[in-house]
Amino acid sequence: MEYVTLRYYNGVYAYQNGSSIEMDILGDLFKSDLGCPGTSLDDWIFDDDKGTRTSGNSVVLEKEGKYIYLFDLYDENGCLFKEDLVETKLKISRQQLAQLIYDWQEKVCKLKPQAVTITQENDTFTLTTSN
């Protein structure tokens, strides 16, 4: 099972730990790009007329078939990644990403728990919270 954990600190969620670079990228999406009150990507996720690629502050999302790939916008030196050099990507289904965003808005932004953990097991992503 893969995971990433975020902690509530001084009014924002910050990275605590993760099991892989791919899960760290997913954590970055939520703590940096979506934040709270929680940006919705529903229109973009399900409507291919809105483009196949979008990005936030730190993560690029790219649609391919029924999946979305997430990768870092910057390398470890703070330089923009070049598309042909990106090696580490997280693959998630469109439906799973939409569900995580919904759970983030409902369970995290509204309730402000002390910890948020997103797990991945057998292509299923789950968001849980604790105080």
28-80 residue pLDDT tens: 999 988 888 666 787 899 999 999 999 888 899 999 999 999 998 765 555 55
- Residue 4: beta bridge partners? 18, 118
Q: Output the six-digit token pair for 114.
A: 């002390």
- pLDDT exceeding 90 applies to what percent of the chain? 69
pLDDT at position 41 is: 84
Q: Nearest CA to 80 among 55, 104, 63, 98?
A: 55
Q: Which helix (H) or strand (E) segment is 99 a member of?
A: helix 94-103
- Judge whether residue 115 has pLDDT over 60: yes
pTM over 0.85: yes
- Give how far the C-alpha of residue 34 lies from the chain's centroid of Cα atoms, to the nearest Å: 8
User: pLDDT band at 98, cuts 50/70/90?
Assistant: very high
Residue 105's domain comprises 2-130
Q: Tokens 């105080």, residue?
A: 131
How far is the C-alpha of 2 from the C-alpha of 19, rounded, in Å? 6
Total domain count, the chain? 1
